[in-house]
Structures are given as C-alpha cells and as structure tokens.
Amino acid sequence: MSTIAFLGLGNMGGPMAANLVKGGHDVVGFDLVPELLATAVANGVRAAESAEAAVSGVDAVITMLPSGAAVKSVYAAILPHATPGQLFIDSSTISVEDARAVHQQAVDAGLMQLDAPVSGGVKGATAGTLAFMVGGDSTALAAAQPILKPMAGKVVACGGPGNGQAAKLCNNMILAVQQIAVGEAFALAEKLGLEDQALYDVVTGATGNCWALQVNCPVPGPVETSPANNEFRPGFATALMNKDLHLAMDAIGATGATAPLGSHAASLYDAFAAENGGLDFSAIIDTLR
C-alpha cells in the first residue's frame, strides 16, 4: 500500500483516484473545483487543502491535468514541497517538449518522474482498464507498477522521458486518419448503393479493418455501442482529438517529420471542432457526405 497524492480529479482523474482507493492505496486528492473534490471524498479520497499540501509525506504524486501549461504550473508550485526520492507520475496528455521539461525539473529536485499518458477514455478510467504509455527510466517504472495496477489494463514501457507522450501522439494521429478514411468509405458506399451493414461485414473480415470501423463505426446499425447509435455522444470528444492533433502537429513542426495525411486530418478536425467539439470524433463523417 502506498500513500498517493492525486492532483486533478476531473473526468479521468476522479475515477482513477477512486480505483486507487479500491486497490488499497491511501489517496490524498486536490482539484480546483470543490464539487469534484467532494465527489472524490465520497469515493474514499482524503481531501487536501492545496496541491502543495497534498504532496507532503506521500510516496507518489499523480497529476491528471488539462494541459502542459497546467502541469508546468502545478509542478512549479509543488516541487519546492517535494521530498527527494518521491515518485512523480504525469498522466495528462501534454507535448513531448513539456513532458521532458518537467521531467528534468523533477530529476533536478531529486525525484523519480515518469510521463504516463493513457488511452481508454472515461470508460477505461472507470473500469480500471486504461492503457498506460510510459516514458522514463526502468527504476521509476518498477516503483510505479503497483501504483498503476488498479487503474490499468496494460502498461507499456516506451523508453526515455517524453516517449510515453510520443507514443500517445503517434497513436492518435493514426486514429484520426483512420476515422476519416472509414467515414469516406461509408460515404462512397452510400453513393454506390452498397448497404452499410454489407460494407461493415466485408471490411471487418478484410484488410481494411481497424478500431475506427470495428468498434467506433460511424454509421448507426452495425455496432450497437458505437456513438453513431447515440447521436454521437462521446466516446472520445472531437475537442480532445483536436487537442491531441495540435500536439502532434507541434511535434511535427519541432522535428521536421512529414505527415501529409496526419496534417490534413488535423486541419479537418480543427475546422470540425469549432462547432462540434462535444460530439464524438467519428461524427466527422457528416462533413464527408
């Protein structure tokens, strides 16, 4: 059993902290929104008065915050209150550059630090089946394993600091391109007189199969649980996909990598997110018809 500070108890952090409690850990939490802190307390989390107060005397600190700016500002506030040897895990989705910057600050303060972004959404956070992509050294990862366990379906070591974020950005860029490609195929099939179900049955058994089709099918019918059957309620909101694509485009700019399809997908989602940020990202099919 470890004592863990959990900072950021929102859509993801709330259920993650609750699963840590269920896993037998002692969790002290903080969020700027009092109602979210109260919900966490109802789930067995002890309330801290501030982020700074939460980190004193704990074994590990997990951050689950909206942006790189928020992570940098929280780290600036809490690092002076940290004790050398503590393990810091940031599970927010932020840029590789920001992840490497906060890693260095933590190491300079005598701490172990990992970037450990997740996929699996609120559903995975609630079920304790998130996939963690971890960047950082193997000693820190070994220390993190029993802490990640109650929240995780899978933990993948991705290499050095920032590499968890790199894996997350690459995965979501693939996903964005695939969701558009699947939408284009259904739009074309509709014009050719091919039934949605027939296209689904053929492609899920053929070489074009992918998660964007098999699980997140963008037309109602073939997959009962896909957002298309539920007025495109997320799922994975377009605003979050758009955020991740912005981070991917920043990384492309910084590295000089070329990604013509990823870049085009990013511009399509940028335009779509302006009016439809709250819809599941598979709703982009409506712009392709």
Question: Residue 210: which residues within 8 A CB-CB, separation 6 or more?
Answer: 178, 182
**Residue 70 in contact with ligand NAD, rule: CB under 6 A:** yes
- Tell me the C-alpha distance between 39 and 45, whole Å: 9
Q: From the CB of 165, what's the least distance to ligand NAD, in Å? A: 10
Q: Which of 32, 47, 155, 187 binds ligand NAD (CB under 6 A)?
A: 32
- Tell me the C-alpha distance between 36 and 43, whole Å: 11
Question: Shortest CA distance to 148 belongs to which of 118, 105, 104, 169?
Answer: 118
Q: How many residues bind ligand NAD (CB under 6 A)?
A: 27
Among 22, 168, 191, 243, the one annotated catalytic: 168
254 burial level (CB within 10 Å; 0-12, 13-18, 19+): exposed
**Residue 30 in contact with ligand NAD, rule: CB under 6 A:** yes
Q: Which two tokens stand for residue 218?
A: 């963008």
For ligand NAD, give the closer residue by CB, 30 or 88: 30
**Residue 121 in contact with ligand NAD, rule: CB under 6 A:** yes
Q: Which of 33, 41, 76, 254 binds ligand NAD (CB under 6 A)?
A: 33
- Any catalytic annotation for residue 191? no
Q: Which of 65, 102, 203, 245 binds ligand NAD (CB under 6 A)?
A: 65
Q: Yes or no: say if 89 and 13 are a contact pair by the CB < 8 Å rule.
A: no
**Interface contacts to ligand NAD, rule CB under 6 A:** 7-13, 30-33, 36, 51, 64-66, 70, 74, 92-93, 118-119, 121-122, 236, 240, 243
The catalytic site residues sit at: 168
